Amino acid sequence: MKTLIQNVTVGSGQTDLLLADGVVAAVGPGLPADDATVLDATGLRALPGLVDLHTHLREPGREDAETVESGTRSAARGGYTSVFAMANTLPVADTAGVVEQVQRLGEEAGWVDVRPVGAVTVGLAGQQLAELGAMADSRAAVRVFSDDGHCVSDAVLMRRALEYVKAFDGVIAQHAQEPRLTEGAQMNEGTVSAVLGLRGWPSVAEEAVIARDVLLADHVGSRLHVCHLSTRGSVEIVRWAKQRGVQVTAEVTPHHLLLTDELVRGYDPVYKVNPPLRTQADVEAVREGLADGTIDIVATDHAPHPVEAKDCEWSAAAMGMTGLETALSVVQHTMVDTGLMGWDTLVDRMSSAPARIGRLAGHGLPLDVGNPANLVLVDTAARWTVDPAAMATAGRNSPFRGMELPGKVVATFLRGRPTVLDSELVTP
Residues labelled as active-site residues? 301
C-beta separation of 364 from 388 below 8 A: no
The string of DSSP codes covering 358-387 is: TT-TTSS--S-TTSB--EEEEEEEEEEE--
Look up residue 129 and give its DSSP letter: B
Q: How far apart are alpha carbons 60 and 91 in whole angstroms?
A: 7
Q: How far apart are alpha carbons 121 and 297 in whole angstroms?
A: 25
Look up residue 307 and give its DSSP letter: H
Rg (CA), the chain: 21
What is the distance, to the nearest Å, from the Cα of residue 312 to the centroid of all Cα atoms in its chain? 27
Q: How far apart are alpha carbons 109 and 279 in whole angstroms?
A: 39
Report the DSSP beta bridge partners of residue 121: 129
C-beta separation of 87 from 119 below 8 A: yes
List Cβ neighbours of 35 (8 Å cut-off, separation of 6 or more). 2
Q: How far apart are alpha carbons 299 and 270 in whole angstroms?
A: 19
- Ramachandran quadrant class, 298 (left: phi over 0; alpha: psi -120 to 50; beta: rest): beta
List Cβ neighbours of 32 (8 Å cut-off, separation of 6 or more). none
Half-sphere exposure of residue 391: CA atoms within 13 angstroms, side-chain side: 30
Q: Would you give the end-to-end CA distance of the chain in angstroms?
A: 13
What is the three-class DSSP state of 273? Answer: coil
